[in-house]
């Protein structure tokens, strides 16, 4: 292969990568439902994880592609079959065993502790706010059990206090997901799953059903408002008076 053709190939194959970068740096990550625009500790941990993984993977991708192209292009010195065998073994052990094992160990040593911290573990100093969410075709029923409040498609939260969302369903499987706060959990008939979330900025976010649930799946949207603790109390009081 000609060197010129190689360069062309390299540039062409990397062009799309450039494209995605431009998006990122134009601030394309913001949005009311963006996992890359976190408003809570869980979402933030995951977003950071993503950026690290993205950088690392992009580097690996580039290195291996370059290596392949170089291997195609270079004119190898003449070698015996034993030499070739040794070189081959070195590549396979270095690239096929050591590289993935090291990378995966690294990844897991970050990933598993992060996963652990997302669990609804017992808290020491406070009780999480208990909210029940019941998915149904095609809306969300939100119950504040202690306060006796029930809303439809409206989730109000206080900032700075962990919330345990108890998710279930009365018909098919749905999935509760507010990307700016954290990951999703499925709403499954006959089961109750608990998701620990916390908001750390005041504002309006958007959530959406993430498990296909039939005709109205695209319209099963949830509106979230994160209040300061005072205005959250005020909202509750106001709601009860209605």
Partner 1 sequence: MLSPFHPLQLALGLVVWFTWFALMYGALATACAVAPPSADQGTLTWINVALLINTIVITGLLLYWASICWRAARAGNKRENTSYLFIAKLGASINLVGAVATFSLGGVVLLLPPCL
Partner 2 sequence: MNEKTQKLPARLHNDFMKVWGNPQGWRALTIVNHTTIGIRFMVTGGVFFLIGGLLAMLMRTQLALPEQEIIGPELYNQLFTMHGTIMMFLFAVPMVEGLALYLIPKMIGARDLLFPRLSAFGYWCYLFGSIILLSSLVLGIAPSAGWFVYTPLSNEVYSPGPNIDFWLLGITFVEISAVSAGVELVVSILRSRTSGMALLHMPLFCWYILVMAFMIVFGFPPLILGSILLELERAVGMPFFDIARGGDPILWQHLFWLFGHPEVYIIFLPAAGIVSTLIPVFARRPIVGYRWVVLAAISTGFISFGLWVHHMFTIGIPQLAQAFFSVASMLIAIPTGIQFFAWIATLWTGRPVYHIPMLWLLGFLVIFLAGGLTGVMLALVPFNWQVHDTHFVVAHLHYVIIGGMLFPLIAGLYYWLPHFSGRMPSDKLARWGFWLTFIGFNMTFLIMHLTGLLGMPRRIYTYEAGLGWDLPNAVSSVGGFILAMGIAMILFDIILHFRIGRPAGVNPWHADTLEWATSTPPQPYNFISLPADPTRHPMWTETSLQATIAEGRHTLSEIDHGRRETWGSDPVTGKIRDIIHLPGNSWLPFYAALVLSVLCISLLIRTYEIALIALLISLLLLLRWSWINGAHPGAAPDARVKPGYPPLHSRTFDSPGLWGMVVTLFSDGALFLSLLFGWLYLWVIGPNWQVPDAAPLAWTTLVIAGVLLSGAAYWYRRVLQRLKAGDDHYLQYQLWGITTLGLAHCCMLLWIWTTAPLMVTHTAHDAVIAVFLAYLLFHGGLAVIVTGLQAKRVAYGYVGKSVPYEVAVLEPWWLYTVGVFWISLLVILLLPSAWGGM
Which residues contact Cu ion by CB under 5 A? 174, 209, 213, 217, 220
How many residues in the chain?
242
Nearer to partner 1, 60 or 108 (CB): 108
In angstroms, rounded to a whole number, what is the distance separating the alpha carbons of residues 89 and 74?
A: 19
Residue pair 168/132 in contact by the 8 Å Cβ criterion:
yes
**Contacted entry of Cu ion, partner 2, partner 1, none for residue 160, CB cut-off 5 to 8 Å set by kind:** none
229 contacts 200 by C-beta, under 8 angstroms: no
* Smallest separation, CB 179 to partner 2 (Å): 4
Stretch 119-178 residues interacting with partner 1 (CB under 8 A): 119-122
* Shortest spacing between CB 105 and Cu ion, in angstroms: 22
For the purposes of burial, counting CB atoms within 10 Å of the CB of 1, is it exposed (0-12), middle (13-18) or buried (19 or more)?
A: exposed
Q: Is 190 in the site for partner 1 (CB under 8 A)?
A: no
Q: How far is CA 103 from CA 57, 117, 133, in A?
A: 10, 22, 39
For residues 186, 192, 196 and 198, what is the CA-based torsion angle, rounded to 10 degrees?
Answer: 80
Within positions 98 to 117, which residues make up the interface with partner 1, using CB under 8 A? Answer: 112, 116
Kind of pairing between the strands at 154-158 and 221-227: parallel
Other C-beta atoms closer than 10 Å to the C-beta of 195 total 24
Minimum Å gap between C-beta 172 and Cu ion is 8
We find the least distance from the C-beta atom of residue 85 to partner 1, in angstroms, to be 14
Q: How far is the CB of 46 from partner 2 (least distance, A)?
A: 5
Choose between 95 and 203: whose C-beta lies nearer to partner 1.
Answer: 95
Helix (H) or strand (E) holding 118: none
204 binds, among partner 2, Cu ion, partner 1, none (CB under 5 to 8 A by kind): none
Residues in contact with partner 1 by the rule CB under 8 A = 112, 116, 119-122
């Amino acid at each position: 292969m000609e060197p010129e053709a190689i360069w062309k190939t390299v540039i062409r194959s990397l062009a799309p990568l450039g494209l995605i970068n431009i998006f990122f740096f134009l601030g394309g990550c913001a949005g009311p439902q963006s996992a890359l625009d976190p408003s809570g500790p869980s979402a933030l941990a995951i977003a950071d994880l993503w950026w690290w993984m993205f950088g690392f993977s992009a580097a690996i991708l580039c290195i291996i592609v370059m290596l392949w192209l170089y291997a195609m292009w270079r004119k190898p010195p003449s070698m015996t079959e034993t030499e070739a065998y040794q070189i081959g073994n070195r590549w396979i052990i270095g690239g096929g065993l050591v590289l993935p094992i090291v990378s995966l160990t690294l990844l897991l040593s970050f990933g598993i502790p992060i996963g652990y911290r997302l669990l609804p573990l017992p808290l020491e100093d406070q009780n999480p706010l208990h909210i029940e969410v019941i998915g149904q075709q095609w809306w969300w029923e939100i119950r504040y059990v202690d306060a006796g409040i029930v809303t439809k498609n409206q989730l109000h939260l206080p900032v700075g206090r962990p919330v345990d969302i108890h998710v279930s369903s009365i018909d098919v499987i749905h999935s509760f997901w507010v990307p700016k706060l954290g990951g999703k959990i499925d709403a499954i008939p006959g089961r109750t799953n608990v998701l620990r979330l916390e908001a750390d900025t005041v504002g309006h976010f958007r959530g959406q059903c993430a498990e296909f649930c039939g005709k109205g799946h695209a319209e099963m949207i949830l509106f979230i408002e994160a209040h300061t603790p005072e205005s959250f109390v005020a909202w509750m009081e106001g709601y009860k008076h209605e």
